Amino acid sequence: MKNVILVPTDFTKVADCALNHAIVLAKKLGAEINLLHIVAKQNAIDAAKEKLNKIAEDTRAKHDVTVNIIARVGNIFDDIGDVAAEIGAKLIIMGTHGVRGIQHLTGSNAIKVITNSNVPFIVVQEKSISDGYEKIVLPMDMSKETKQKLDSTAYLAKYFGSKVYVFAPKEDDEFLSNAVKRNVAFTERFLKEQNIPYEIVISEDKGNFTKLTIRYAASINADLIAIVNDPDAAGVPDFLGSSDEQHILTNDPQIPVLCVNPIQVTVSGGILGS
């Protein structure tokens, strides 16, 4: 099967940044890029295709990667996931405009876009990349679902030679502490088996784990934060359905976020060529 990366675009600066990430990944992973623009009415299709073709032609000429275009009438909440399924996309790279402007692409409820697809997302703001994801922060809390992002994280780490920073909360409660330790130990074994460089970091501070994760990621100049998306669960950063969902996706340091849905849990069901 071809490795396919889907990039929804609204022709803005952050969409250009998403394309930048896709180009870097496409070159490294031998993937093709599909640019998608969704319009509200049929009479806007031709103009959309004209814009998409211009971007595709420029990208092919400058970067020597395969770029296809898709223009569709519909809405972003349903159609991004539908298109990803139709073309067999293994990864979606989507730009977001931050808390104040997130409606430009994703609407007021960004999580609906992600949950309506079985494909992992990388959500970016305006932080471009040149060589890939050298430092990946992997937050690990007490939940059993937190381990479900390991396959996708490991896949990217192997291709980019990344170091994974396993970041865990400091827990005083014995039950919570033991649960976190089990997940960290599982992660450590997994990374060792995959021969991926890693470091275990236990937060020295207490408080909101999302904020602690973002602060830590910024302190090491991380290139990516990996999280699990489960809108039915409570707790962040592994669960975007909480009130902190926009904080992790639109973090102030503008660190890209890998969002893995719980359905993507097997080694064979990972991203891009696995």
pLDDT tens, residue by residue, 175-225: 888 988 999 999 999 999 999 999 999 998 988 888 999 999 999 999 999
**In a 3-state reduction of DSSP, which class is residue 263?**
coil
- 35-39, 54-58, 145-149, 210-214: which range is least confident on average? 145-149
The CATH class given to the 135-269 domain equals alpha beta
- Asked if the domains at 4-124 and 135-269 fall in one CATH topology, the answer is yes
Residue 189 vs residue 271, higher pLDDT: 189
User: Angle at CA 58, nearest 5°, toward 54 and 59?
Assistant: 115
Confidence label for 111 from pLDDT (cuts 50, 70 and 90) = low
Instruction: Kindly report the average pLDDT of the chain as a whole number.
Output: 84
Instruction: Give the per-residue pLDDT at 201.
Output: 97
The gap from C-alpha 120 to its chain's centroid, in whole angstroms, comes to 6
Confidence label for 266 from pLDDT (cuts 50, 70 and 90) = very low
CATH topology for 4-124 is Rossmann fold (3.40.50)
Q: What is the DSSP string of 193-258?
A: HTT--EEEEE-SS-S-HHHHHHHHHHHTT-SEEEEE--TTS--TTT-TTSTTHHHHHT-TT---EE
Q: Return the domain boundaries, the chain.
A: 4-124, 135-269
Instruction: Give the per-residue pLDDT at 219.
Output: 97
Q: What is the mean pLDDT of residues 217-236?
A: 78
Dihedral sign for Cα atoms in the order 217, 124, 156, 264: positive
